[in-house]
Amino acid sequence: MVEIRKPIPVSEAVERVIARAEKTGTEKVPLGESTGRILAGPVRATHPVPPFDRSPYDGFAVRSQDTKGASGDSRILFRVIDEIGAGHVSEKTVGEREAVRIMTGAPIPDGADAVVMFEQTSGEGAGFTIRKPFDPLENVSLKGEDLEEGEEVVPAGAFIHPGTIAVLATFGYAEVEVARRPVVGILATGTELLYVSEPLAPGKIRNSNGPMVMAQLRRMGIPYRTYGAQADDLDSVVQTVEKAVAETDAVITTGGVSVGDYDFLPAVYERLGADVLFNKVAMRPGSVTTVAAGGGKFLFGLSGNPSACFTGFELFVRPALLRMMGARKPFLPHTKAVLGEDFTKANPFTRFIRAVYDGKTASPAGFNKSNAVSSIARGNALIVLPGGSRGFRKGDEVDVLLLGVEEGSPGWMK
Ligand code: AMP
Ligand code: MG
């Protein structure tokens, strides 16, 4: 008997997955290795930035009161009493019509409250003249103008990118507390599958989903273990999935989630006693995408069809893994775009079309069936067409999910 499955909306499926994500815990890593990780706690400014009033230019530190009345016709002469580069502190106090030659980043000497840039002076050596007055604090970078002590700079759950590294380094984080990355097991199922290095044989195809999913994980910096490709045999698939579940935090299988004679994954979930969160999603491709959870671990049953497998990963696996790490922005970033060509196929389910997005227009990336492999290679985005419509016309505004962007969105596309 063929089981009747009730499709649920994509947004609800995403919510169900996210709700079951259990935190992986945290670990400390050296600063240099923290790029791409998820920050476990907020970063607060442990001191003001800059930590002292400093010069933003190469020039002369002076007392602004001494510059009053300076003009082209009535230049004012200053005497240089000291010189400092960045990293040095002047011992002198700047007095009337005195100046300290100062380089970018050096602390403003006592007495001075303004900096005259070299370009604003004439004369060399022990003295120079100026031709305009300077306001108090003109050309001075004030202590704390960038960050005040105690201010939250980056929140917990942020993705660590090069700018985050700059802040962490500023505050002396030689080690950074980050979320532990989940380890993911990958198993391709299908008696027809060959390894990449094998020659084609009648009725067989090479396993492309396994390497593709590995690359999707690698793009996220997530470690994985591969359990190869398995023939459609219930007992051996159960055995391998059990082993994978024991050794990893989440297991991705591809293939075998439909209702065909050799689609054993539903039976595998039953044998393992896993809680099936859904087994039918109102989406194309990948309506048979199944997610189960148990013992704090996920089992992602992605379709064997390459485009469906790819899409299932991006829609469900990606946010689930990011949420396990406490990421604030676990969803694919989304934007609006102009549809580049007609798409008239009637469509009861939400459709995710591999697409080429150029910053303005999004056009389908070629052969558009769930078993397509070409359009995954050509696309850099997914056009999202809501279900229940008659079709879309070139020029219509559509939603687009962006792929391969390191930082995501805080919410699922509305
Ligand atoms: P299934 O989800 O097992 O019903 O498979 C759906 C389609 O995807 C079939 O045409 C399979 O041959 C194909 N397929 C399954 N697994 C893979 C894989 N790992 N790589 C490429 N194609 C696959
Ligand atoms: Mg199969």
Q: What is the DSSP string of 21-54?
A: -----EEEEEGGG-TTSBBSS-EE-SS-BSSS-B
**What's the CA gap between 240 and 206, in Å, rounded?**
20
* pLDDT in the model for residue 157: 98
**What's the CA gap between 222 and 36, in Å, rounded?**
10
* pLDDT in the model for residue 268: 94
* pLDDT in the model for residue 173: 97
* pLDDT in the model for residue 288: 96
How far, in Å, is the centroid of ligand 2 from the Cα of 189?
Answer: 6
Looking at domain 27-44+153-179, what is its CATH homologous superfamily?
A: Molybdopterin biosynthesis moea protein, domain 2 (3.90.105.10)
Is the bond leading into 51 cis (omega within 30 degrees of zero)?
no
Task: Kindly report the CATH class assigned to 59-130.
Answer: mainly beta
Tens of pLDDT along the chain (414 residues) come to 456 789 999 999 999 999 999 999 999 999 999 999 999 999 999 999 999 999 999 999 999 999 999 999 999 999 999 999 999 999 999 999 999 999 999 999 999 999 999 999 998 668 999 999 999 999 999 999 999 999 999 999 999 999 999 999 999 999 999 999 999 999 999 999 999 999 999 999 999 999 999 999 999 999 999 999 999 999 999 999 999 999 999 999 999 999 899 999 999 999 999 999 999 999 999 999 999 999 999 999 999 999 999 999 999 999 999 999 999 999 999 999 999 999 988 778 999 999 999 999 999 998 888 888 999 999 999 999 999 877 899 999 999 999 999 889 999 887
Domain with CATH 2.170.190.11 in the chain: 59-130
* pLDDT in the model for residue 125: 65
How far, in Å, is the centroid of ligand 1 from the Cα of 210?
Answer: 11
How far, in Å, is the centroid of ligand 1 from the Cα of 370?
Answer: 10
The one-letter amino acid code at 226 reads T
| 3-state percent helix, strand, coil for the chain, nearest multiple of 5 | 20, 30, 50
Domain with CATH 3.40.980.10 in the chain: 10-25+181-324
Domain with CATH 3.90.105.10 in the chain: 27-44+153-179
10: its two tokens: 């994509």
- For residue 405, CA distances in Å to 141, 169, 219, 350 come to 35, 24, 10, 22
**What's the CA gap between 350 and 366, in Å, rounded?**
18
- Protein residue whose Cα sits closest to atom 17 of ligand 1: 304
**What's the CA gap between 40 and 19, in Å, rounded?**
19
Ligand nearest to the CA of 192: 1
Residue ranges lining ligand 1, Cβ < 6 Å = 188, 190, 192-193, 205, 207-210, 254-256, 258, 260, 263, 303-306, 371
- Nearest CA to 324 out of 38, 41, 16 is that of 38
Contact 41, 157 (CB under 8 A): no
Please give the helix or strand (H or E) that residue 335 lies within, else none: strand 334-339
- For residue 312, CA distances in Å to 17, 60, 99, 107, 207 come to 12, 62, 67, 56, 17
* pLDDT in the model for residue 370: 84
| CATH T-level assignment (fold) for domain 10-25+181-324 | Molybdenum Cofactor Biosythetic Enzyme; Chain A (3.40.980)
- Protein residue whose Cα sits closest to atom 23 of ligand 1: 304
**What's the CA gap between 299 and 253, in Å, rounded?**
8
- Nearest CA to 324 out of 355, 288, 300 is that of 300
How far, in Å, is the centroid of ligand 2 from the Cα of 261?
Answer: 9
- For residue 183, CA distances in Å to 172, 249, 332, 363 come to 30, 5, 21, 35
Q: 358 — alpha (psi -120 to 50), left (phi > 0) or beta?
A: alpha
- CATH architecture designation of domain 334-413: Beta Barrel (2.40)
